Amino acid sequence: MEQSDVLYDTHAHFFSSDLLRYPVNTANAREGEDNLRRRIESDPATPQRVLGLWDDSGVIGGVGVQYNTVYKTDNRFILDTAGQNAERVTAVVMLDATAADTPAILDQWVNERGVAGLRLFGRAAADGTYPWLDSPAALQTWQVANRHGLTMVLMYAPASVEPAAFAKIASLAQRFPATRIALDHFGWAGCEPADLGLAAPLVQMREYGNVFYKLTTINFHLFEKAGIDSTHFVRRAVDLFGADRMMWGSDVGNSLESYDSMARRARASAAQLTPAERSLFLRETGRRLFGS
């Protein structure tokens, strides 16, 4: 395998079938609670399984992203997974940024557990605000992340390009320049077929140098639905944002596709990149942000 084809997976979801030690919370699961619970029991994404898939697919390491669908903000399993496999896995946890104790918890986990990032997820409130992103309480959490130079992984709902959400993220990027901001699922690129799925509000984010873009299997599925050629998308995105601000993540544990297929999609999408660009997108940008 060429060195430029070696992968680093920035978006792996781990979960266990040991429900006594690691209880689950499957409320509001998109696939339905019964289906999800069957999957948890029959096909858990344990470290042993996922790292085996990484070995088979030429993946040197990656990021365990707290799986909101299964655990919400109970981070015990991802912290244990990263702690027991520190040579290959780092942890991105999920916390309620508006909770009073979150800044202290995050500070402690960075210092004691080596947490590499914090994932925030939410949608606009009824009045159009995003309190989980930039309320006074949330800003205290951002201050901790900025002090540590963490990566903040952001995913908003619904799955569409939302100019208001991007405006909030742009403001945070300016306010906290030492914080790297990674947009999950490339800020929902591919939801609209026009402009290769790169809508204007997303393209405008390129002026903020501490904002990064994570392309996952979810995006590839969106591309197929919209009739977008992934190789053209990746080439255009690199021209707009730079390969040093783009990274790949599988979404293993959530997207129901074989890992081999996910890895092949990633490599195929980089067909129009130079070897140096390819290495950045498939591996080095993610390693720089999350390390392991």
Tens-place pLDDT, residues 191-242: 988 899 999 999 999 999 999 999 999 999 999 999 999 999 999 999 999 9
Proportion of the chain above pLDDT 70, given as a percent:
99
Amino acid type, 202? L
Average pLDDT, rounded, for the chain = 97
Q: Are 199 and 161 in contact (CB under 8 A)?
A: yes
Q: Are 133 and 97 in contact (CB under 8 A)?
A: yes
**46 pLDDT above the threshold of 70:** yes
Residues 6+ apart with CB under 8 A from 273: 234, 235, 238, 243, 281
Domain at 159, CATH number: 3.20.20.140
Q: Would you state the pLDDT for residue 94? A: 98
Question: At 152, is the secondary structure helix, strand, or coil?
Answer: strand
Q: Are 286 and 63 in contact (CB under 8 A)?
A: yes
The stretch 140-148 carries a mean pLDDT of 97
- Going by C-alpha positions, the residue among 9, 8, 6, 5 that lies closest to residue 252 is 9
- Measure the CA–CA gap between 77 and 12, rounded to whole angstroms: 13
**4 pLDDT above the threshold of 90:** no
**70 pLDDT above the threshold of 90:** yes
The stretch 271-279 carries a mean pLDDT of 97
Proportion of the chain above pLDDT 90, given as a percent:
97
Q: Residue 199: left if φ>0, alpha if ψ -120 to 50, beta else—which one? A: beta
- The reported pTM is 0.97
Note down the domain range covering 223. 3-290
Cα angle vertex 114, ends 166, 244, to 5°? 45
- Measure the CA–CA gap between 30 and 24, rounded to whole angstroms: 15
- Strands laid side by side in the 151-157 sheet: 7-12, 59-65, 89-94, 117-123, 151-157, 180-183, 211-216, 246-249
Residue 238 has which token pair? Answer: 């690199």
Number of separate domains in the chain: 1
